Amino acid sequence: MGQLFAILQGPKNTWSLPPELWQHCWSFLAVDDLLAVSSTCLSFRFTCKDLLFKNITTTIPYKRTIRHIFQPRNEDVTRIARARRLLLRLHALQSDSDAREVLGLVETWSIRTFGSPAPLEETEIMQYDKAGFPFVQPSISIFLILPSCRNLRVLNISDIHIEEERWSALVKIPQLECLNMERCNLSSTAKAMKLKVVLITYEAHRDPPPVPPPTRQLISSLFNLRHLERLTLLDLTFSNSFLLGLVRLGQFENLKHLSVVVPETHMDTLFTFLSKTPSLASLTISNFSTMAKPSKPVIQSVVPNLVAYDGFPTLIPILLPGRPVNVICLRMNHRTDPRASLGNPFGVYDNNVVCKALNDCSASTRMVHDLMLSPFHPTPDSMQDIVRIHPDLRHLQLDILRTPNINMGVDEEGPMSLIMDMLANVVEAQDSDNFSHYPLFLISGFLNWIANGHLPLPANLETLHLHYYQKSVTVCGDATKQRLLMPKISAAYPALHEIEMGTTRWWREGDCWSHEVLARTQL
């Protein structure tokens, strides 16, 4: 990019490039930088506008913030100014005739809220003096704008009640293909939508929404039999209602990707639905699901084209035999210690359970090329099992349990867990040139064992991803020390060209390894 600008310092060169090339250059810029570039001249404003308005996020102020606009508390100038700007922009989109051009550029729109989770209704707005602030309107306004977005294909909605008037606006969006609703309350609608991608998420720790379960009419409107290609159902309150409704709709000929949470009493319902998805290629069973098996025999013709499975090992004997599955993610939440639970890092992992699950994966009609284990306690035996059972692995991801695998009685689980995390942090940060002193439950020790030949990997492995189990951000090790290990690892495994450890990524071109720091928000 720097070389390009050095060549194009003359004014004639600037105009000689086609707009498409400038747009490609601007596509590498962050939003703030893109705004700065668009303000330099009319030419750059023209070439930047498609990127600036391609993705829009609208944050709707709720009761607390609106009231602070008219009745400021604690001199919160920043928040008041932010809320004013947001409401004025919403007003401009509705009232300005030039906004039609902008709306035609939008392809992805995200609508979310901040403030108290209760919208300010029109009757409440009337009590405030609006002379000094010309426009305040509830969140329904933004939905009235959406049908004017002729190229809008992806809509993300968070923490909003989707009542009838909002539904009527959604169904009028001409090109909408993907609808993502997070923590939204749903109401009924009579018009069918032609959605290819539907995501419905409602988190478990929140109170159940004060609305009735989804009706058959709503389900038939959301999930189009002919168009639906990708479906995510992680609504822990109404997942059973959605599953039962989907079964009654009919055959989903084009559905290829399914991610779902399954209640204990609805495993049979899931497999009934799977029998109506002949094109399904990817199936994900959420961690919040019940580790159960169907009570009825499953016929061999169910999901014949399944190539990727992410879920519990209890379903492998049912889903993998006779199918071309080669991408597998195993949620290994079984422990032999009855006192252990999903959130408790203690207890003894039975390596026989892991070994049996890996053996069951071999029943697929194709060699497994991608494998993920979560959580995983690395030992020489468990790694040897992976190499022996799946020698043709190309990609391996391990979510390492960041505590020693010891059988110990713990009365206070929380404090002991914190102590072990503190111990791991101290050992990880030690300034030692001998990585073999590090235990295997640390990524630094795991890497050192591989480099010194004490821990095997599949001979043809191409990528290795290591993360800590249930850690949103994995920060690992000293790049200077890791650089000494890379030549040893690449000499033993010549096909390996990428090692990712949370926020750290090593990648190889030829014999040269490069280091990259990834975003800390990565999961």
Higher pLDDT, 469 or 18: 469
Give residue 228's Cα distance to chain centre.
20
Q: Is the pLDDT of residue 152 over 90?
A: yes
Arithmetic mean of pLDDT over the chain: 77
Arithmetic mean of pLDDT, 261-285: 91
The Cα 245–Cα 215 span in angstroms is 8
The helix/strand count (H/E) of the chain reads as 20, 18
What are 318-356's pLDDT values in tens digits? 999 889 999 999 988 654 444 444 444 444 456 777 888
Task: Report the pLDDT value the prediction gives residue 135, as an integer from 0 to 100.
Answer: 41
What kind and span of H or E run contains 161?
strand 161-162
Task: Report the pLDDT value the prediction gives residue 333, as an integer from 0 to 100.
Answer: 67
- Nearest Cα neighbor of 354 from 381, 325, 321 is 381
Task: Report the pLDDT value the prediction gives residue 59, as an integer from 0 to 100.
Answer: 75
What are 286-298's pLDDT values in tens digits? 888 877 788 888 8
Q: Is the pLDDT of residue 104 over 50?
A: yes
Q: Is the pLDDT of residue 239 over 90?
A: no
The Cα 80–Cα 86 span in angstroms is 10
Helix spans in 277-430 (H) = 316-319, 351-361, 380-389, 413-428
Q: Is the pLDDT of residue 478 over 80?
A: no
The Cα 203–Cα 401 span in angstroms is 24
Task: Report the pLDDT value the prediction gives residue 480, as an integer from 0 to 100.
Answer: 84
395 DSSP assignment: E
Q: Is the pLDDT of residue 162 over 70?
A: yes
Residue 475: band (very low, low, confident or very high) from pLDDT cuts 50, 70, 90: confident
Give the dihedral of Cα atoms 359, 363, 368, 371; nearest 10 deg. -50
Q: Are 253 and 218 in contact (CB under 8 A)?
A: no
Beta-strand ranges (E) seen in 377-501 are 395-400, 463-468, 498-501
Task: Report the pLDDT value the prediction gives residue 161, as an integer from 0 to 100.
Answer: 79
Arithmetic mean of pLDDT, 152-164: 87
Residue 86: band (very low, low, confident or very high) from pLDDT cuts 50, 70, 90: low
Q: What are the beta bridge partners of residue 506?
A: 499, 515
Which of 103-107, 258-262, 378-382, 431-435 has the least mean pLDDT? 431-435
Q: Are 62 and 113 in contact (CB under 8 A)?
A: yes
Domain boundaries, the chain: 17-52
- Nearest Cα neighbor of 306 from 366, 389, 355 is 366
What are 184-195's pLDDT values in tens digits? 877 766 678 899
Higher pLDDT, 507 or 410: 507
Query: Cα separations (Å) of 498 from 328, 395, 489?
Result: 19, 10, 11
The Cα 488–Cα 511 span in angstroms is 11
Task: Report the pLDDT value the prediction gives residue 173, as an integer from 0 to 100.
Answer: 92
What are 496-509's pLDDT values in tens digits? 999 998 888 999 98
Query: Cα separations (Å) of 522 from 203, 218, 343, 509?
Result: 20, 35, 21, 24
- The DSSP result for 408-425, as a single string, is ---S-HHHHHHHHHHHHH
Q: Is the pLDDT of residue 227 over 90?
A: yes
Task: Report the pLDDT value the prediction gives residue 167, as an integer from 0 to 100.
Answer: 85
- Exposed/middle/buried for 77, CB within 10 Å: 0-12, 13-18, 19+? exposed
Which of 88-97, 130-139, 159-168 has the least mean pLDDT? 130-139
Task: Report the pLDDT value the prediction gives residue 373, as an integer from 0 to 100.
Answer: 93
Beta-carbon contacts of 263 under 8 Å, excluding residues fewer than 6 positions away, are 239, 240, 289, 290
Residue 275: band (very low, low, confident or very high) from pLDDT cuts 50, 70, 90: very high
Higher pLDDT, 128 or 372: 372
Residue 309: band (very low, low, confident or very high) from pLDDT cuts 50, 70, 90: very high
